[in-house]
A and B are shown apart, each in its own frame.
Chain A
Amino acid sequence: MTTVSRYQATISADAEVPIIRITRDFDATPAQLMRAHTDPDLFARWVGPDGMDTRIIDWDPTDGGRWRYVARRDGEEYWFRGCFHSVGEEQIVQTFTYEGMPEAVSLETLTFEDLGDGRTRLHAQSLVDSFEGRDAWLASGMETGVDQGYAKLDALVAEL
């Protein structure tokens, strides 16, 4: 049975440093979230948007290990790569690059905060190397092209 998700992602763009922060709760333990981020088969199943087929090329989730995957849709390929800088029990620090713009590297910190009761809060922070880079990234919305009404804005501004 499918139900409407009870947890919503929140996002904020920092004013002082070029950072995007996303927070999302899950009905899972930190260990399970860690596995879903480090097991290549599991990771490939959720990382891409609908209609994208993700194939893992390199995957070494250890300190200093590298990763690389390709996402395919409609004959187009998008390659991504980076390094697992450090993989702890409840935190992953890694670099991220879209190979189409190899000089633009972001530093990602994923933290799995144990909320108890089988729930975990994911904090995903991306530090980009410039405000221009970050805002271009935010603006590069790609596939979803949703047209929103003003009703959504109140809630959003509360989150900004």
Chain B
Amino acid sequence: MVDEAQLSKVFAALADPTRRAIVARLADGDATVGELAEPHDVSVQAVSKHIKVLNDAGLVSQVRDAQRRPCHLEAEVFDLATRWIERYRRQAQARYEKLDAVLAEMQAEENEGANQTWGSDRSIPEQTRGAAS
């Protein structure tokens, strides 16, 4: 179960571009710190620090596998955090699609002629440029 304090850690952990790249890589499969460091211009120590942040947030775990200690993405935690933020984004999107419709109607009224109702606004005539339907 992810509580709000942990969710804050998840958001903070995902705010860093290197850590996002690490998470994206781990989504393809487990990898060691050394493997994770390869594509990045950073040291193994630096990647280890990032892994620690991701680990504290519950996003990544390290399992002992013989000599290797591959990092593993805890998909459920990642999924929950991103789902929450995505849901919030969708609400904003739905709201703004309604705003699109209101704006389109405002423009239609403005285009209807000189007896527009929105007061004088010199930006209005520019809206008529797309005359061809």
Contact = CB atoms under 8 A, between A and B. Distances in A.
B127 A156 contact: no
Interface in A1-54: 5, 7-16, 20, 22, 24, 26-29, 31-33, 35-36, 42, 45-50
B49 interface: no
Nearest to A30: B123
B38 interface: no
A32 B92 contact: no
A99 to B, nearest CB: 19
A143 B92 CA distance: 12
Most buried by A among B16, B121, B123, B126: B123
B11 A135 contact: yes
Interface in B79-133: 79, 82-104, 106-107, 118, 121, 123, 126-127, 129
A33 B123 CA distance: 12
Nearest to A132: B4
A14 B15 CA distance: 7
Given A46-B99, A144-B87, A145-B87, A157 B93 contact: no
B24 A154 contact: yes
A13 B20 CA distance: 14
Contact of A138 (B14, B84, B95, B100): B84
A70 B129 CA distance: 39
B56 to A, nearest CB: 14
A153 B100 contact: no
Interface in B1-36: 4-5, 7-8, 11-12, 14-16, 20, 23-24, 27
A145 B12 CA distance: 24
A143 B4 CA distance: 19
B17 to A, nearest CB: 9
Contacts of A132: 4-5, 8
Given A5-B93, A5-B96, A148-B82, 18 more contacts: A8-B93, A14-B15, A24-B92, A28-B107, A31-B123, A32-B103, A32-B123, A35-B106, A42-B106, A46-B101, A47-B95, A48-B95, A132-B5, A135-B4, A135-B11, A137-B88, A141-B84, A156-B89
